Chain A
Amino acid sequence: MKLFRFRGGVHPPDYKALTQEVGIERLTVPRKVRVPLVQHLGVAAQAVVKKGERVLMGQLIGERHGFVSAAVHAPVSGVVTAVESVPHVSGRSVPGIEIENDGKEEWHPEIKPVRPVTREAIIAAVQAAGIVGMGGATFPTHVKLQPPEGKKIVLLILNGAECEPFLTCDYRLMVEAAERVIRGAVYLMEALGVTRCVVGIEDNKPAAIAAMRGAAAGQSGIEVESVRTHYPQGGEKQLIYALTGREVPSGGLPMDVGCVVQNVGTAAAVADAVETGRPLIERIVTVSGDAVERPGNYVVRVGTSIGDVLAAVGVDLEKCAKVIAGGPMTGLAVGNLEVPVTKGTSGILAFTEAWVKASEPAPCVRCGRCGVACPIGLNPTMLETLAMKRDVAGLQVFHAQDCIECGCCAYICPSQRTLVQAIRYGKAQIVATRKAKRN
């Protein structure tokens, strides 16, 4: 198969050795979980339980509200102690449900495998299980499985690139549970009505490629491709281009070029939902960084606070200077350790002062390296200037809304300017202007 090379990109040190050879472990389930009703892109789910009610594991506690929204389930059995607002990694408070864990781990009796496995049944199961994109973008999966009329999907792409430094959760999943991922891919192909699926894995993960090739051997239509180790290879648009040579148009979606991209973790969750009926209530989280005593990959229940996770893996909070949810390139700094783990939390990184280099940005030297590194082909330094001048028309002319916030420009900048932060500010201005126009 011919592979393509997307423009730009960077090669940051990957630091995956910290966790990649450590097997996946289960983390102790905490006494109390706080489950946000917003764990996906789109409209918040609506609480369907009340304070004082006893809920069982996997019971629906937040109902999908609107098409682009996802259901939320109880990650533990126990009593609902509050229906209130919970902190979110964005800093905002979002509606959520607090459950006191009774430690009985009692599954809801209505959870059973999907029979027979038809196209409609798979989509219904994915929707009922509240599955969202587990690479971090958390787009509801059932929406991707139901493309609008006129959009023909010909190819399913499984994203196992995991280009983000430090993170190894997808790698461990592919090494330890390749069959489950491939079975999930088969269900996704059935749901989309496609006959071809390509799994893209960066070539720095030979063990994952071998395991996935072994698991896919008996399946027709599934190919495992080794792609170049090149950040941001795991970006949806970059992976599509690398595997097919098709470019997603500005403002468009992968379905515009006949593709649907799913993370390997999402495929595994789909396999679980179809084969056992179990909703998405836990995920694999890479916990790494130099402040972590026992770095590794842990299965964490949704709603466990980041503070609880850090305590369980031996982080001395006195020495810890910075905590990041997600990877170092695209993740968000955590301002409050009570923020819970959600379906999209792929990693939690904790660093000591020595690793957190806070340096003053210097003036732009017009070297143009940010523009060379940008995988979209934008001009980051121009966007930064326009954002700080609050020139919304200019930002639109320079396509600020096409920025994928991969962080290549800020990584490569010799003046260490905070380009992504500025561009995010610019994108927020565009959204605010659009909203103001609509009202």
Chain B
Amino acid sequence: MWFHPLIVMSLFGGLFGAGLAYASRKFAVKTDPRVAAVLEALPGVNCGACGYPGCAGYAEAVVSGKAAPSLCAPGGAEVTEAVCAILGVTYEATEPRVAYVMCQGAPHAQQEAQYDGVASCALAALVSEGPSACKYACVMMGDCYHACPFGAISWQTGSVPVIDEAKCTACRKCIAICPKEVIALRYRSKRVLILCHSQDKGAVARKKCAVACIACTKCVQTCPVHAIRMDGNLAVLDTGVCTQCGACVKVCPTGAIRDLRPTTNEENLARAGAGIGVAAE
């Protein structure tokens, strides 16, 4: 009979349909609709800067309360605000942070040897700790430039990379890759910075670099808000506390502390002959 297969197939169809309908009810996984909403709000670049596997991983973590809503570096304040709105928590604005290089490099720092191997900071740092006389200095071979997913770092061979504060999202990729750990974060509006990373004793540091921190502690004593402390032979500035009064810049005998605010930046650039730390807005 020609209609037998039709009946059999219809029966099978009905049976499997009923089974699927039952299974979808019985084994349903309850998902929070907020996860999808948060995922929608995130930029979707899957950079991993939040520490979770991609945006989806972070969205789940945020909704389940395992992660703070402010961890999305590329999204910044806007995304944090949106995520807070979805979660129904109050949004507190925090100032975004950006990366900067704690070294003024060439032409101030002495080069001890010439490195002619593969142009990579990580590999150059393996050969007598880098070609620079100062073993804490920027190697200037651009590993961070290649690592930056946002194109915020500009760099030329033989010079310290310049980080564009408008593009930097504080994702820390450059910090992770730098073999000398010479990159750190600062608050975006704070541009009075200690541009040295040398732990050498003062006399030694001065011999190797004209603009090194020589651990004279004058800035520590001068700072009215106690934003500067000594870490071994190096003065370290907490940009969260700094009021940018500029007192430390005036007392620093070597020029390791620099005021890179736009009003004074031009003058600074002219003096240094190279763009240090802050690119034009």
State the A residues within 8 Å of B (CB): 85, 89-93, 332-336, 358, 361, 388, 418, 421-422, 424-425, 428
Which chain B residues lie closer than 8 Å to A333 at the CB level?
113, 127-128
Cα distance A89–B126 when bound, in Å? 11
Cα distance A421–B135 when bound, in Å? 19
Give 18 A-B pairs besides A91-B127, A336-B112 with Cβ atoms closer than 8 angstroms: A85-B204, A89-B128, A90-B128, A91-B129, A91-B130, A91-B135, A333-B113, A335-B128, A336-B113, A336-B128, A358-B116, A418-B117, A421-B123, A421-B126, A421-B127, A422-B123, A425-B123, A428-B126
Cα distance A92–B126 when bound, in Å? 10
Interface residues on B, range: 10 to 19
Which chain A residues lie closer than 8 Å to B130 at the CB level?
91
State the B residues within 8 Å of A (CB): 112-113, 116-118, 120, 122-123, 126-131, 133, 135, 200, 204
Q: Which residue of B lies closest to A93 (CB)?
A: B135
| Residue from A358, A388, A425 within 8 A of B126 (CB atoms) | A425
Which chain A residues lie closer than 8 Å to B113 at the CB level?
333-336
Q: Which residue of A lies closest to B131 (CB)?
A: A335
Cα distance A311–B118 when bound, in Å? 30
Q: Which residue of A lies closest to B200 (CB)?
A: A93
A–B pairs, 30, beta carbons within 8 Å:
A90-B129, A91-B128, A91-B129, A91-B130, A92-B129, A93-B135, A93-B200, A332-B127, A332-B128, A333-B113, A333-B128, A334-B113, A334-B128, A335-B113, A335-B127, A335-B129, A336-B112, A336-B128, A358-B116, A358-B117, A361-B118, A418-B117, A418-B118, A421-B117, A421-B118, A421-B123, A421-B126, A421-B127, A422-B123, A425-B122
Cα distance A332–B131 when bound, in Å? 13
Chain A CB within 10 Å — which of B120, B126, B131 has the most? B126
Which chain B residues lie closer than 8 Å to A421 at the CB level?
117-118, 123, 126-127
Query: Is the Cβ of A92 less than 8 Å from the Cβ of B123?
Result: no
Q: Which residue of B lies closest to A361 (CB)?
A: B118
Given contacts A336-B112, A358-B116, A361-B118, contact A92 B135 (CB under 8 A): yes
Which chain B residues lie closer than 8 Å to A334 at the CB level?
113, 128
Which chain A residues lie closer than 8 Å to B133 at the CB level?
336
| Residue from B123, B128, B129, B200 within 8 A of A418 (CB atoms) | B123
Which chain A residues lie closer than 8 Å to B131 at the CB level?
335
